[in-house]
Amino acid sequence: MKRISTSLAILLAGLGMAASAGAQQITGAGATFPAPVYAKWGEAAKAAIGIELNYQAIGSGGGQNQIFNRTVDFGASDAPVDAPKLVEQKLLQFPAVMGAVVPIVNIPGVEANQLKLTGELLADIYLGKITKWNDDKIVEMNRDLKLPNLAIAPAYRADGSGTTYVFTSYLSAVNADWKSKVGASTSVKWAAGTGAKGNDGVAATVKQVKGGIGYVENAYATQNKLATTQLRNKAGSFVTPTIAAFKAAAENADWSADPNFAVSLIDTQGATSWPIVSATFILLPTDPKDPARSALVRKFFDWSYKNGSDIAAGLEYVPLPAGVQDAVRAKWSSLYKG
């Protein structure tokens, strides 16, 4: 008994110390896709401006639920929330950072970024229309490669995910058949292939199965040295997935098109643009219960915009263009006082 009370006292003292030494806390919940960069930003911001971020990566749907119920200071979502819902729930939506989705393949004899694909071909593969790697439509685009007579084994995210939302948005944009039969969502009715859990599950499945193809976040592909492919963009040129190509896509988007920043970065114009790029969003109440905490959230993202670019780039995310950052700041000062 005595030991218990002693340890309890120590624990309480510890908690008290943590609270007093701890910086001002803000809480957020939602998308898993940007979670690594939010974590790094949180660490850096705690040291620099004394704001400690407590972010729970529970998925975009969960993040929306949490901010609708106001159980966190901000929500985070990969898919933008539509305008009427934002008004109804009294939320401001702004982008935090961008990322890209890349196809990965496992074809014997084909190295990274050698294979050339188009969105139409990707959709046909995932629709189960193209089933062999030496299909005429693929060979036509890859005369320089020796493609084997091997079954294509498509892998997709079995768990609902923002990555799937971005990927299926792209397929819907470039393939009418896909748009009418499948559509875009965090999970869809797949016509072919096998599902795996998480980016790592998809990557492992593709690695294990000869003839495999999958899609993952770029950061994941780079860190694990997966064999990515080239894709044909809207301008008709084949691009390899590089940070420069992602940035080009962001710069070629018309950010002023939507007041809630729900701008599609999918298949944008520009000869060097990577076609599957997306922003991830923050949802902040316009009628905060605690204005001071809401101000801290804005201060945190303001700091991250200014100082977090290197951290984001180091993790293979794409920082927002400066013009967009300024637009977000302008929105803040028009909505909130002080």
Partner 1 sequence: MSSTTASVTKVRTASAGISGDVIFAAAAKAAGIFVLVLLGAIIVSLLIGGMPAFIAFGPGFLTNADWDPVQQIFGGAVPIYGTLLTSVLALAMAVPLAFGIAFWLTELAPVWLRRPVGTAIELLAAVPSIIYGMWGFFMIVPFMSEYFQPIVIDWLGDIPLIGGLFQGPPFGTGVFTASLLLAVMIIPFVAATMRDVFMTVPAVFKESAYGLGCTTWEVMRAIVLPYTRVSVVGGIMLGLGRALGETMAVTFVIGNTNRIATSLFGPGNTIASLVALEFPESPAGSLKLSALLALGFILFVISFIVLAVSRMLLKPRAN
Residue 36 or 62: the one with the smaller Cβ distance to partner 1 is: 62
Q: Does 309 bind partner 1 (CB under 8 A)?
A: no
Which of 38, 41, 60, 265 forms a contact with partner 1 (CB under 8 A)?
60
Q: Give the range of 104-112, 159-167, 248-256, 318-326 binding partner 1 by CB under 8 A.
A: 159-167
Q: Does 160 bind partner 1 (CB under 8 A)?
A: yes
The residue whose two tokens read 């609270």 is 19
Q: Does 197 bind partner 1 (CB under 8 A)?
A: yes
Which of 211, 214, 275, 285 forms a contact with partner 1 (CB under 8 A)?
211
Question: Which tokens belong to 208?
Answer: 């294990």
Phi then psi dihedrals of residue 239, to 5 deg: -125, 150
Q: Does 58 bind partner 1 (CB under 8 A)?
A: yes
Which of 96, 101, 196, 311 forms a contact with partner 1 (CB under 8 A)?
196
Task: For strands 116-117 and 74-77, give the pairing.
Answer: unpaired
Strand partners, 117: 231
Residue 26 or 58: the one with the smaller Cβ distance to partner 1 is: 58
Smallest separation (angstroms) from partner 1 to the CB of 183: 4
Smallest separation (angstroms) from partner 1 to the CB of 92: 19
Task: For strands 51-56 and 24-30, give the pairing.
Answer: parallel
DSSP sequence for 176-242:
HHHHHHT--SSS---SSSEEESHHHHHHHHHHHSTTEEEEEEHHHHHHTT--B-EEE-TTS-EE---
Q: Does 253 bind partner 1 (CB under 8 A)?
A: no
Residue 30 or 270: the one with the smaller Cβ distance to partner 1 is: 30
Identify the CA nearest to 34 among candidates 218, 250, 272: 218
Smallest separation (angstroms) from partner 1 to the CB of 53: 20
Q: Which amino acid is at 191?
A: A
The Cβ of residue 138 has, within 10 Å, a number of other Cβ atoms equal to 22
Which of 40, 52, 68, 331 forms a contact with partner 1 (CB under 8 A)?
68
Phi then psi dihedrals of residue 332, to 5 deg: -60, -50
Q: Does 177 bind partner 1 (CB under 8 A)?
A: no
Note the residues at the interface with partner 1 (CB under 8 A): 58-62, 64-65, 68-69, 151, 153, 158-161, 182-190, 193-197, 201, 204-205, 208-209, 211
